[in-house]
Chain A
Amino acid sequence: MHTFILERPRDLAAALAFHAQAGRNDAPAEYIAGGTDMVQLLQEHVRRPERLVSLAGLLDGHIEAGPQGLRLGAAATMADVAVHPAVVEQFPVISEALLNSASPQVRNQATMGGNLLQRTRCPYFRDVGYAACNKRSPGSGCSAIDGENRWHAVVGTSDDCIAANPSDLAVALVALEAGVELRGAGGQRFVPLIDFHRLPGNTPHIESVLEPGEVIAAITVPASSTARRSHYLKVRDRASFEFAVVSAAVALDMDGGRIRAARVALGGVGTKPWRVPKVEAALAGGSLDPAVLRRAAALAAEGAQGRGHNDFKIELMQRAIVRAIETAGARA
């Protein structure tokens, strides 16, 4: 494993002072929370920080639900959030996304903050044997664009990087218009989750809007008319313990058989968690008739670009939207 200095600060203020930064391969200091992604990246020499700052015991892990909505402390584990009664009843899409992620062991270790900042599963990024990877080594090129790109993104891509964001949780959260509370040495700020991850553009090595030192302190999910009737559909190569090939998070506000409002986001296809507002607008006021749903879902493909092995995702994501809405719509 890569050698580093491990800091175990006494409190959060001391931790923030190290200016650690997640989601950037050139940051000299980085945080570690549950460790489920970080330890692997260190082991494989993908991340080589000088300093690792442990967040163990420093961040809030509470899960609170109230009339305003849901607040998930950054240290809450995937396992605890997934089975929390308020999450299961009022925000089922979050619980479903989590229960369909990883394994019981990993869900027990992994935290909310770490989940949102986990790195891509692009095999070239994770294997330092491939020299070309702009996300790992800025300016080195991209091995995936003309390589094995079955797992890669079809929306939000650039000529420098086509890596898919792997988080299932983040897809459910952007559908519910969640936000993140950030804490830094300079104080606190709030960022809508949809603006938290950055598109790759020509700087794919910078993955989020986090400034040096900043941490995610909590995730907030506003109460809404759609959250209760929500669903996460994950299409993958085997039935459990696998990342998404394509996924769809949907939340519906129904008026009898008519859709009053819909929220739709996609996973496995975007370089960041991908909300599709045009699909949402087309669904509003319509019925659950499969042909109607299909026409709305087709709008998700606007601007999508396959790179060969992943062309199938463009069709698959439209079908996933239709299926997920049918499932959510059939719920009481």
Chain B
Amino acid sequence: MAKLHISTTINGEPIEFLCDPPQTMLEVLRDQLGLTGSKEGCGSGDCGACSITVDGRLVCSCLMLAAEAEGHRLETIEGMARGDQLHPLQKKFVELAALQCGICTPGFLVASKALLDRNPNPTETEVRYWLAGNLCRCTGYDKIIRAVMEVAADMRETAR
């Protein structure tokens, strides 16, 4: 069957790829483009480990057909650090040990960044509800929530 030719932008770079209709965005990111930061935890929208943003909106890449990336701007975990310079959320996750096995971490980071980009001053309840689509079986969530709350406070401080 003829492959589909898709033009898109990933982490600011124009990217073209060929895919079959049934391929998900997650499969193409990981298996074809070498962007293995996004993880497959479930493949059914339940865990959030595959979270990316499309035109700034947080989505599950496992529920998106790769062909639907045509003409859109995607951001993945690979676009979060600036060279060697970690994003404040990444630094804080390390500092507070907000991860153990790390499978869920890229998804939590992408989701947390999407939250802080739109709401720099979230309440703890807002953070917990926003991250309800991201599952973690190691940390018990508290450290993750604390990391996001602290980064939000730090970023407001710096912005002042």
Contact = CB atoms under 8 A, between A and B. Distances in A.
B88 interface: no
Given A35-B65, A54-B68, A4 B22 contact: yes
Given A6-B67, A35-B65, A39-B65, A106 B60 contact: yes
- Of A5, A54, A102, A106, the most chain B CB neighbours within 10 A belong to A106
A106 B63 contact: yes
Contacts of B68: 35, 54, 56
Contacts of B45: 36, 40, 102-103, 105-106
A35 B59 CA distance: 11
A108 interface: yes
A40 B111 CA distance: 21
Given A6-B65, A35-B64, A36-B63, A105 B21 contact: no
Contact of B133 (A2, A5, A54, A104): A104
Interface residues of B, number: 30
Given A4-B22, A6-B4, A39-B24, A103 B63 contact: no
Given A6-B4, A241-B132, A104 B58 contact: yes
B124 to A, nearest CB: 14
Nearest to A2: B22
B22 A109 contact: no
A4 B20 CA distance: 9
Interface of A: 1-6, 8, 32, 34-36, 39-40, 42-43, 52, 54, 56, 79, 102-106, 108-109, 240-241
Interface of B: 1, 4, 20-24, 43-46, 48, 51, 57-60, 62-65, 67-68, 70, 111, 129-130, 132-134
17 contacts: A2-B22, A3-B21, A3-B22, A5-B1, A6-B4, A6-B21, A34-B63, A39-B24, A40-B44, A79-B57, A103-B45, A104-B133, A105-B58, A109-B60, A240-B129, A241-B46, A241-B133
